[in-house]
Amino acid sequence: MKLGRSFFSLYFLIISIFIVFSWMLDEAWSSYLEQDIESYTGYKTMLLALSNYLEQHPEDQWEEILSQAAKQWQQPLKLMSAQAVKAISHQRHDVIKEENTHIYYDNNAVEIHHRINDTGTVIVLGPAKMPTRPRVEALIRVILLASLACLLFFWLRPLSRDLDQLRKTAIEFGQESFDVLAPKAESTMTAPMVTAFNTMASRIKRLIDAHKELSTAVAHELRTPLARTKFALQMLGCTDDKAKQEKYRTAISKDICELEQLISEMLIYASFDNDKPELNFTEESLVDIVEKQVSNYQQFEQKFNIINMLGNQRVEVDRQFIGRALNNYISNAIKYGNGEIDITIIQNDKHCQIRVTDNGEGVCDEFKCTIFDAFSRGDISRNRETGGFGLGLAIVCRIMEWHGGSASVVDSENGGATFILSWPINQVSAK
């Protein structure tokens, strides 16, 4: 898989940080060695032992003894007088002093002076190598850093890949490719980000599609009554017949009422198409909600059959919105039915359902998949001539989405249509 520039930038940035950090540790270690006399314990102990040994022998034998020690220990050793040592100009970075031992260091070289007790003679060791960090510890550090670099590589690779894919998707989306979605994230760190982006993209796409659909539908719906009104106005100005004038005025009045009704329903649908409102969920009896809605249609010559298969259970629901959805179902059943409506309340698995069945001509299969879309109309038996603009069922669908449920339609046993409200039972209690 081809790795992007952002991956290498991030990877080398982190590796560079570790390299700098390691270098700073080395500097701190070197500084510690230079400033701490205990780092030279080996040299100091050797010089102290040699000094004690020389004190036990005549001074004229010191040169020979020191020469033998230098060969045995393979160290540069010599004797100097205290006056000669003071006369030497040491161009050193710093000097460490402890009793009779003076340490002069310069870069990686060190020179140690040890004055023999109660004498004017100084044992000089050096220049010698400065003590360094043990190689085993240094090797372990290198291995750890290399292992860490490998882990970072395999950790950052999917992270970088997800970010690159997300960037490309965002660019495509910004170029009006609203169907594009970010691919599934390989890294758990970017998964919430990818999910949030796809949710946002889907929401924006739905809003844009709804806006286009609404604009097209509004233009179509307004065109017909406006054309009829324009024609009626023209005819009204061309005739002096009182009867015809009254006929055209009546037609204009009906078209204006139709326009008002259309605008009202569009405003309601637009408000429902906005963000989800704050729902007021309470434990309600679905039988009470159904009976309340049925009582609003007592003036119609309809036969209502309420079939309660849920018993006395109360369901958590927003009474206002479920009542509105049920009211749209009942209104459609009255318009398209033949005088008899069955309303069934049941529990199906972990969902509660309200089913409204009419005995009309039913809904054709081609129309079932779009019947809940805004401004959707099917066959002649369910068009605007019987009332409505195709917004009522779209509102029902939106209400059920807010409840985490669905709205659907199936064929009924008596030849009509059965419209279903279904949503999860969050709380059910018998009373």
pLDDT at 155: 72
CB 364 within 8 A of CB 378: yes
Same domain, 369 and 414: yes
34 has pLDDT over 50: no
35 has pLDDT over 50: no
**Domain-ending residue, one of 272, 302, 322:** 272
**Domain-ending residue, one of 76, 107, 129:** 129
Residue with tokens 């066959």: 379
Distance of CA 360 to the CA centre of its chain: 49
pLDDT at 382: 41
pLDDT digits (tens, 9 = 90+) for 301-347: 788 899 998 888 888 888 888 888 888 888 888 888 888 899 999 98
**SS3 for the chain, per residue?**
CCCCHHHHHHHHHHHHHHHHHHHHHHHHHHHHHHHCHHHHHHHHHHHHHHHHHHHCCCHHHHHHHHHHHHHHHCCCEEEEEHHHHHHCCCCCCEEEEECCEEEEEECCEEEEEEECCCCCEEEEEEEEECCCCCHHHHHHHHHHHHHHHHHHHHHHHHHHHHHHHHHHHHHHHHCCCCCCCCCCCCCCCCHHHHHHHHHHHHHHHHHHHHHHHHHHHHHHHHHHHHHHHHHHHHHHHCCCCHHHHHHHHHHHHHHHHHHHHHHHHHHHHHHHCCCCCCCCEEEECHHHHHHHHHHCCCCCCCEEEEEECCCCEEEEEEHHHHHHHHHHHHHHHHHHCCCEEEEEEEEECCEEEEEEEECCCCCCHHHHCCCCCCCCCCCHHHCHHHCCCCCHHHHHHHHHHHCCCEEEEEECCCCCEEEEEEEECCCEEEC
Same domain, 211 and 286: no
Domain presence at residue 158: no
Same domain, 415 and 371: yes
pLDDT digits (tens, 9 = 90+) for 45-87: 888 888 888 888 888 888 888 888 888 888 888 888 877 777 6
Domain presence at residue 4: no
pLDDT digits (tens, 9 = 90+) for 176-196: 777 888 888 877 777 888 888
Same domain, 109 and 202: no
Q: How much of the chain exceeds pLDDT 70, in percent?
A: 77
- Per the structure block, which two tokens stand in for 230? 């324009």
**What would the mean pLDDT of 207-229 be, rounded to a whole number?**
74
Same domain, 318 and 367: yes
Q: Which of 139-143, 362-366, 377-381 has the lowest mean pLDDT?
A: 377-381
pLDDT at 176: 77
The sheet that has 313-318: what strands, in order across it? 281-284, 313-318, 428-430
Q: Which residue range is the domain that position 44 belongs to?
A: 36-129
**What would the mean pLDDT of 225-251 be, rounded to a whole number?**
84
Same domain, 289 and 391: yes
Same domain, 299 and 400: yes
User: pLDDT band at residue 108, thresholds of 50, 70 and 90?
Assistant: low
pLDDT at 272: 65
Domain presence at residue 258: yes
Domain presence at residue 288: yes
Domain presence at residue 48: yes
Domain presence at residue 143: no
CATH number of the domain within which 292 lies: 3.30.565.10
CB 197 within 8 A of CB 172: no
How far CA 292 is from CA of 288, 319, 326, 425, in Å, comes to: 6, 11, 10, 21
Same domain, 220 and 352: no
Same domain, 308 and 207: no
How many domains is the chain partitioned into structurally? 3
173 has pLDDT over 80: yes
pLDDT digits (tens, 9 = 90+) for 113-161: 888 887 888 888 877 766 654 555 666 767 777 777 777 777 777 777 8
**Domain-ending residue, one of 129, 154, 184:** 129
User: pLDDT band at residue 420, thresholds of 50, 70 and 90?
Assistant: very high
Greater pLDDT, 264 or 239? 239
Same domain, 371 and 421: yes
Helices 392-402 and 319-336 pack at an angle, to 10 degrees, of: 150
pLDDT at 376: 66
Backbone φ and ψ of 132, nearest 5°: -120, 165
Nearest Cα residue to 164 out of 140, 190, 188, 146: 190
User: pLDDT band at residue 356, thresholds of 50, 70 and 90?
Assistant: very high
Same domain, 244 and 304: no
Domain presence at residue 345: yes
How far CA 428 is from CA of 35, 287, 297, 352, in Å, comes to: 78, 14, 29, 10
383 has pLDDT over 90: no
**What would the mean pLDDT of 243-271 be, rounded to a whole number?**
79
> How many Cα neighbours within 13 Å face the side chain of 49?
8
pLDDT at 357: 92
Same domain, 330 and 290: yes
Chain-wide mean pLDDT for the chain?
A: 77
Domain presence at residue 179: no
Determine the Cα–Cα distance for residues 388 and 394; give it in Å rounded to an integer. 12
Greater pLDDT, 73 or 97? 73
